[in-house]
Amino acid sequence: MLGVMTIPTLELNDGNSIPQLGYGVFLVPADEAERAVSEALEAGYRHIDTAAIYGNEAGVGKAIAKSGIPRDELFITTKLWNDRHDGDEPDAAIDESLEKLGLDAVDLYLVHWPTPARDNYVHAWEKLIGIRERGLTRSIGVSNFLVPHLERIVAETGVTPAVNQIELHPAYQQREVTEWAAAHDVRIESWGPLGQGKYDLFGTPAVAEAATETGRTPAQVVLRWHLQKGFIVFPKSSRAERMRENIDVFGFELDATQMGRIDALDPLDGSGRVGSHPDELN
């Protein structure tokens, strides 16, 4: 087992810290979540990323309770779904998530998508500010926000998100968003960090050759690329051996040439996106 101390933490703009690598439970079925999260915690993960829409918060909560790990050693994230932005719905939503998770507070609460056609993400963000002030979450952030969405919530509330969790992998690096985040001290979290298997990332010469050169797997090479870019990453796997492989990425480094070759995998025209466009999912 790898110790939790092998995972570095990054400081957020609100003074809190976050483990740079965690375990994501997107598409983990509700009846498998307890087992999967328990195995992830046994492997050394201490950062768990879930969401109300995933339908597995209760399983995550059971795994946390059974683990015996002190609460202050865990970092738990969940998210506000798109149909809960209006009125007092965000307040009800966080209460429901906390009940399912069996927690008094989460470490990070995110607006899951901006849903611009509904034009209510500023209100949702205002409600998250209140949720943080009431102590139900330590940090607040957003997910899938593009620069116009980010600029608007900051302009209208004066509060900058601690993180923005976005689709990010070598073929889709979202440079405009990441550059804005760097300029405003917002941490980037990469979802789908391995491209969700929707293209042959591991077969590209840049990744395959770096794997050979470092004696690591292609997945480890790509996760290492994310970490060296300063991104927070949480690969998802239901298999214990893959969980252990994904966390074992701190004993080597990619050199500048290897990093540059992976950087160059982005066609820059947006064609590398494998998930939904934030302006279109409402």
pLDDT digits (tens, 9 = 90+) for 157-179: 999 999 999 999 999 999 999 99
pLDDT band at 10 (very low <50, low <70, confident <90, very high): very high
pLDDT band at 114 (very low <50, low <70, confident <90, very high): very high
Identify whether 69 is part of a domain: yes
pLDDT band at 5 (very low <50, low <70, confident <90, very high): very low
Identify whether 182 is part of a domain: yes
- The confidence score (pLDDT) of residue 203 equals 96
Q: Which residues are catalytic?
A: 54
- The confidence score (pLDDT) of residue 180 equals 98
Of residues 45, 84, 87, the one with CA closest to residue 63: 45
Of residues 257, 262, 269, 281, the one with CA closest to residue 114: 281
pLDDT average, residue stretch 241-245: 90
Residue 6 has pLDDT above 80, yes or no: no
- The confidence score (pLDDT) of residue 236 equals 79
What is the number of domains present in the chain? 1
pLDDT average, residue stretch 81-100: 97
Residue 3 has pLDDT above 60, yes or no: no
pLDDT average, residue stretch 254-267: 98
Q: Average pLDDT, whole number, for the chain? A: 94
Residue 268 has pLDDT above 80, yes or no: yes
Identify whether 271 is part of a domain: no
pTM for this predicted structure: 0.95
- The confidence score (pLDDT) of residue 179 equals 98
Residue 1 has pLDDT above 70, yes or no: no
pLDDT band at 237 (very low <50, low <70, confident <90, very high): confident
Residue 278 has pLDDT above 60, yes or no: yes
More confident residue, 31 or 199: 199
pLDDT average, residue stretch 145-168: 98
Q: What CATH number should be reported for the domain holding residue 55?
A: 3.20.20.100
- The confidence score (pLDDT) of residue 238 equals 78
Identify whether 27 is part of a domain: yes
Identify whether 273 is part of a domain: no
- The confidence score (pLDDT) of residue 4 equals 43
Identify whether 219 is part of a domain: no
Give per-residue pLDDT as tens, 185-217: 999 999 999 998 889 999 999 999 999 999 999
User: Which range of residues forms the domain containing residue 105?
Assistant: 8-194+229-236
Identify whether 100 is part of a domain: yes
Identify whether 262 is part of a domain: no
Report percent pLDDT > 70 for the chain.
97
Taking the CB of residue 259, how many other CB atoms lie within 10 A of it?
A: 17
